[in-house]
Amino acid sequence: MAGHPTARAPWWRFDAMRLSSRMAMLSVLLLLAVQLVGFGVIHTTIERNARSQLAEQLTVGERIWQRLLEQRATQLAQGAAVLAADYAFREAVGTHDNPTIVSALDNHGARIDASVAAFLDTELKLVATSDASDSALLPVLAALAPQLARRTSAVAAVGQRPYQFVMVPMKSPLLVGFVVMGFALDATLAEDMHALSGLDATLVLQPASAAPRVLLSSLAPAQATALQQTLAAAPAEGQLLIDGTPHLVRSVALTAGDGPRIRAMLTSSLARAIEPFRSLQLTLAALTLIGLLLFALGSILTARRVTQPLRSLARASERLGRGDYDAPLEHTHRRDEIGELAKAFDHMRVNIAAQQGEIRLLAYWDRLTGLPNRVQFRDAVRAAIARSNAAHEHIAVLMLDLDRFKNVNDALGYASGDSLLKGVAERLQQAMQSQAAQRAALAGGNPVSAGDLLARLGGDEFALLLPGADARAASALAEQLLLAFEAPLTLIDQAVDLSAGVGIACWPEHAADADALLIRAEVAMYAAKAHTGGAQVYDPAIDTASALTLSLLSELRHALEHDELRLYLQPKIALSSGRATGAEALVRWQHPQRGLVPPLQFIPFAERTGFIRRITLWIFEETARYQAELQRLGIARISVNLSTRDLLDHELPAKLDTLLQRHGAVAQAFCLEITESAIMDDPERAEATLNRLAERGFKLSIDDYGTGYSSLAYLQRLPVNELKIDKAFVMAMVNEPGAATIVRSTIDLAHNLGLTVVAEGVENAAILEHLRSLHCDDAQGFHMSKPLPVAEFEAWMLRWQALNPPSRRTP
Ligand code: C2E
Ligand code: CA
Ligand code: CA
């Protein structure tokens, strides 16, 4: 792969070549090898053929040579015979007329160019020679005479020249003597030989005790000289290098008997014999070359046909790797294996693209409503901020959370919950569009703001992105949306009232980046829900611990699963006897880094997220576990706090039943504290749950009484037993007459309604005394004890009860 620092082998290394070059190269090499072997076989065959042909030619050549010599001998013998038959000559021989003999020898010898002409007697003794005869020849002639008697001609060297001798008998009618004639052999004989047979002839003299030498030759002078050089080592028959070129040679002995020998060397160059085949070989070589080229071209093309698609497949897979699934694959139309591969690959591409699309859909879209989801919304906010940064524009994010959605889910089932969400999504979309249209009509321009985006963030939470909008414009839209919610939504046959809390946060006033903007909008939304409902623009005052909030949920979950929560108990005393008769269960978080975290730092958050339900169950189970023991210490009833979310949980009573059973506790030993606001969030539903809890024997208490707006007359309808005056009034009652009045009238009213009254926040003896004088029933506060860990509670109890024995009336 590109980018890897592996050293590439040089191009000429076979393993570094491209596949196509390798394939082409391999087949070309194979072809070349085959051709070379063929060429070699043909070459040797040709050479062998040429050699045997040449050898045969040489054999034939030898006969031709003999015939040439014989023919010449016959010619010469005829000349000699003419003389022998000459009447005048015979008469001169018969009369021993020596001068006539000599002159006849002279005449005839000169006529046929004889170098010597002589007459021998029957004893082969030299009788006369012509005047023109070469005297050097005479001794040779005398020596040869006995040989010539047996055959008609003989060759002999005289000095450095070869001669041919013939001898014919002269009869009249009896043998009277012999006529002998000798002729110099010259290059014409060799040239005749060459003309007749195509072979070169060379006469070589081999003296008895000297190096052989060339006498005459039909070879070119340079070659003859070269031959002279190699002559000593030359074989009589076989191969011989003349001037560096191979020749075949065959020798024919011309002389017999003693004396310097002469032989004829017949030679022919091998190259000449091969010559006719040479052009054949050249043609073959040319054909081979053309074949190779064609073959190389063919295999390159074939290899290309294979490797090109492979390369394009490789490119395609790189594209797939980059996440580009759009371009279809090439070569899918081919009918071969490559085509199949390409088709399979393309199939894979389409599948991956589909899966990728699916994943993207899951990752960016909400399945139920078809709206963008939280991830996409967050991206869009980021992008909008990036754009607006340059344009110096505002951005508003509007977050909306339905009220009581859980009720719909619980009461009507999840299918109804789903259709409710879809209905809400539609309404929001319509409201958004009509608002955009209004805006456009006012501005006389663009009908829809291009960047407006509606998303479902999850559950019953929706969000709107409004690029270009400030807090005022966003608030106007929020009003519009809430207005759209006024008409109830019909699910199957049930009309459901819609309401929601809307939070608004603006960039850049409220947050610097997308995540912070979303959190601020959420904080504003929770504030809206906690207070009046309707819309709330973000205000730093409502968001004190947002940084802490961020990771809190996961930390809380972790806390619950890893036993970081602690049960604390705060005693309640009966004012009439001074004895501790009750206790409130309060939660603490033993955080590994932050230490003991007070509930106000995480309970409100847990309430917002619904996590409080798990905390409630945990604290309830813990108190149920200690219930019997507390009973033994004199605690008749333990108070446990419930939140709004608990009240809306349909299954809470059943869950509490299970826990009671598990620890063998009874409902009568528990008092459940509920704040006014928890009830007022959804009074109908709260009432239903409270009734079911009361039925089981749980005592119910209104916590933080005085901070809400509920009337006692309304509370009277509920199955409550106790009123807990909020500590703000209790703590203030010594200094503020107004607070004291409220406490007094509340106690009176509650008693009139048959409720017992508890005052919390009793911080000193003065308050305690004041409450006692007002006939308040129970008191809880730091004056008696702060909330204590379970382990310390028993010691406190023993101490306290000892100070306040049962018989005494006042503590
Ligand atoms: P709360 O239900 O009103 O609990 C009484 C709070 O008043 C406790 O605070 C307690 O420590 C405090 N308090 C008692 N006597 C005095 C006093 O003389 N002077 C002053 N200044 N304060 C006094 P804590 O434990 O910090 O709890 C705060 C709130 O957290 C609770 O108010 C309750 O709303 C919530 N909370 C605590 N534990 C739980 C729980 O287990 N479940 C639920 N749902 N809420 C809890
Ligand atoms: Ca309480
Ligand atoms: Ca309280």
DSSP string, 786-798: --EEHHHHHHHHH
**Do the beta carbons of residue 799 and residue 775 sit within 8 Å?**
no
In sequence order, what are the residues at sequence separation of 6 or more whose Cβ sits closer than 8 angstroms to the Cβ of residue 180? 80, 116, 117, 118, 119, 120, 141, 145, 148, 165, 166, 167
Nearest CA to ligand 1 atom 24: 599
β-partners of residue 203 are 216, 264
In the reported structure, the alpha carbon of residue 780 is separated from the centroid of ligand 3 by a whole-number distance in angstroms of: 10
DSSP secondary structure string for all residues of 588-628? EEEETTTEEE-GGGTHHHHHHHTTHHHHHHHHHHHHHHHHH
Handedness of CA 321, 325, 327, 331 (dihedral sign): positive
Q: Write out the two tokens for 237.
A: 């028959």
**Do the beta carbons of residue 218 and residue 190 sit within 8 Å?**
yes
How many Å separate Cα 368 from the centre of its chain?
A: 36
- Give the pairing of strands 722-725 and 756-760: parallel
Phi, psi of 272 (to 5 degrees): -70, -35
Is the link from the previous residue into 173 a cis peptide, with omega within 30 of 0? yes
**Do the beta carbons of residue 372 and residue 366 sit within 8 Å?**
yes
Pocket test for ligand 1, best of 640, 641, 673, 679 (most atoms within 8 A of CB): 641
710 lines ligand 1 (CB under 6 A): no
For residue 603, the ligand closest to its alpha carbon is 1
Other beta carbons less than 10 A from residue 24's beta carbon: 22
Q: Which pLDDT belongs to residue 710?
A: 63
Q: Write out the two tokens for 127.
A: 């009788």
587 lines ligand 1 (CB under 6 A): yes
* Residue 38 identity (one-letter amino acid): G
406 lines ligand 1 (CB under 6 A): no
423 lines ligand 1 (CB under 6 A): no
Task: Please report how the helices 514-530 and 546-561 are oriented relative to each other, as an axis angle in degrees rounded to 10.
Answer: 80
Query: How many Cα atoms are found within 13 Å in the side-chain-facing hemisphere of 476?
Result: 10
Q: Write out the two tokens for 134.
A: 């070469």
The candidate with the shortest Cα–Cα distance to 306, out of 272, 331, 329, is 331
Q: Which pLDDT belongs to residue 551?
A: 61
In sequence order, what are the residues at sequence separation of 6 or more whose Cβ sits closer than 8 angstroms to the Cβ of residue 506? 394, 395, 396, 397, 469, 470, 471, 474, 517, 537, 538
Q: Write out the two tokens for 350.
A: 């389409």
| Vertex 659: Cα angle to 657 and 663 (nearest 5) | 120
CA max distance for the chain:
213
779 lines ligand 1 (CB under 6 A): no
Is the link from the previous residue into 653 a cis peptide, with omega within 30 of 0? no
703 lines ligand 1 (CB under 6 A): yes
Q: Tell me 488's DSSP state.
A: P
State how far the Cα of 571 lies from the Cα of 567, in Å rounded to an integer: 13
State how far the Cα of 626 lies from the Cα of 609, in Å rounded to an integer: 29
From the CA of 646, give the closest atom in ligand 1.
44
DSSP secondary structure string for all residues of 257-324? SSSSEEEEEEEEEHHHHHHHHHHHHHHHHHHHHHHHHHHHHHHHHHHHHHHHHHHHHHHHHHHHHHT-
State how far the Cα of 615 lies from the Cα of 610, in Å rounded to an integer: 10
Radius of gyration of the chain (CA): 68
The candidate with the shortest Cα–Cα distance to 517, out of 410, 395, 606, 619, is 395
**Do the beta carbons of residue 402 and residue 498 sit within 8 Å?**
yes
Nearest CA to ligand 1 atom 5: 760
State how far the Cα of 616 lies from the Cα of 196, in Å rounded to an integer: 134
* Residue 188 identity (one-letter amino acid): T
In sequence order, what are the residues at sequence separation of 6 or more whose Cβ sits closer than 8 angstroms to the Cβ of residue 265? 201, 202, 203, 204, 227, 234, 249, 250, 251
763 lines ligand 1 (CB under 6 A): yes
Q: Tell me 754's DSSP state.
A: T
pLDDT by 10-residue block (mean), the chain, 811 residues: 52 71 80 85 85 88 89 86 87 88 88 87 86 80 81 82 88 86 87 89 86 88 88 83 87 80 88 80 85 84 80 83 80 83 84 80 85 91 87 88 80 84 90 78 55 88 91 88 83 78 91 88 84 78 56 80 95 96 97 89 83 94 95 96 89 94 96 88 86 96 81 80 94 90 92 94 96 97 97 96 75 46
In the reported structure, the alpha carbon of residue 609 is separated from the centroid of ligand 3 by a whole-number distance in angstroms of: 21
State how far the Cα of 750 lies from the Cα of 776, in Å rounded to an integer: 10
pTM of the model as a whole: 0.43
In sequence order, what are the residues at sequence separation of 6 or more whose Cβ sits closer than 8 angstroms to the Cβ of residue 687? 679, 717, 718
600 lines ligand 1 (CB under 6 A): yes
The candidate with the shortest Cα–Cα distance to 748, out of 725, 781, 719, 732, is 725
State how far the Cα of 287 lies from the Cα of 696, in Å rounded to an integer: 111
Q: Tell me 232's DSSP state.
A: G
Q: How many residues does the chain have?
A: 811
**Do the beta carbons of residue 68 and residue 193 sit within 8 Å?**
yes
State how far the Cα of 637 lies from the Cα of 692, in Å rounded to an integer: 19
The candidate with the shortest Cα–Cα distance to 269, out of 292, 294, 241, is 241
Which residue in this structure is represented by tokens 């033994």?
632
Which residue in this structure is represented by tokens 């690959």?
345
725 lines ligand 1 (CB under 6 A): no
State how far the Cα of 134 lies from the Cα of 107, in Å rounded to an integer: 15
452 lines ligand 1 (CB under 6 A): no
Q: Which pLDDT belongs to residue 447?
A: 41
In the reported structure, the alpha carbon of residue 568 is separated from the centroid of ligand 1 by a whole-number distance in angstroms of: 10
Q: Which pLDDT belongs to residue 706?
A: 82
Residues bordering ligand 2, an ion, CB closer than 5 Å: 641, 673, 703
State how far the Cα of 616 lies from the Cα of 577, in Å rounded to an integer: 31
In the reported structure, the alpha carbon of residue 706 is separated from the centroid of ligand 2 by a whole-number distance in angstroms of: 13
Pocket test for ligand 1, best of 605, 727, 729, 731 (most atoms within 8 A of CB): 727
From the CA of 787, give the closest atom in ligand 1.
11
From the CA of 782, give the closest atom in ligand 1.
18
State how far the Cα of 541 lies from the Cα of 667, in Å rounded to an integer: 41
From the CA of 587, give the closest atom in ligand 1.
38
List strands edge to edge, sheet with 395-402. 453-458, 461-467, 395-402, 500-507, 534-537
Nearest CA to ligand 1 atom 21: 761
Q: Which pLDDT belongs to residue 5?
A: 47
Q: Write out the two tokens for 503.
A: 């939070």
